[in-house]
Structure formats: C-alpha cells, structure tokens
Amino acid sequence: MEITDKTLCLTTYDNIEIFLNPEQAEKIRQAIESGSKMITVGGSTISASNIKGIYAGKHIIQRKRMMAGEWFCRYGHWHRRHEQCGHGTQAGDRKIW
C-alpha cells in the first residue's frame, strides 16, 4: 500500500475528482480568491467556475461507500447492503450512548 499526503479532494461539477495535498489545495484556493478563471491541477487545466469544492478525502470515500449501498453502524463498522450488524451482541461489546 502506498502512503500519500493527498488527503483532500477537488470535485468538479462534471464529477471529476482530483486528490490533493494541503499545499496544492491552498494554492488552488488562493488562485480562486485572486480571480483566476483557469487553474492547472494535476496536469489538467480546469475552469474555476467548474469547481464544486475541495473536501476532506475521507468524506468522498464515505459518500462513495454509501452510494454503493454500504452503511455505517453505531459501533463504528461498515456493512454491505442488507447485511445485519452483529456488533454489540456479546456481553462486554455493548456500546453505551
């Protein structure tokens, strides 16, 4: 598994996702704030008006999992569509709110 520092994701209105490190994200934010109309990101040039936002990568991954039908139980585990959660069924494994 490769370790990366690209923890943020630029998303466009046509659903292109470009993962960025914090320094790249900050440069893009500055370019947008300064009024740049076209921005070069990862070898591609995109229109600043086509950028939907820059999000934490974990939120993008969570959204993709949910769109694929997975769900997150209150015990902190992901489950496949229609899978029943068995967490918290054993004594000592119960989560108290």
Predicted confidence at residue 45, as pLDDT, reads: 94
Segments making up each domain of the chain, as ranges = 8-79
Over residues 76-97, the mean pLDDT reads 74
Predicted confidence at residue 1, as pLDDT, reads: 67
What whole-number distance in Å separates Cα of residue 29 and Cα of residue 12?
14
Q: What does the pLDDT look like over 22-79, one tens digit per residue? A: 999 999 999 999 999 999 987 889 999 999 999 998 888 898 999 999 999 999 899 9
Predicted confidence at residue 39, as pLDDT, reads: 94
Alpha-helix residue ranges (DSSP H) falling in 2-84: 22-33, 57-67
Helix or strand or coil: residue 28?
A: helix
Determine the length of the chain.
Answer: 97
Predicted confidence at residue 48, as pLDDT, reads: 95
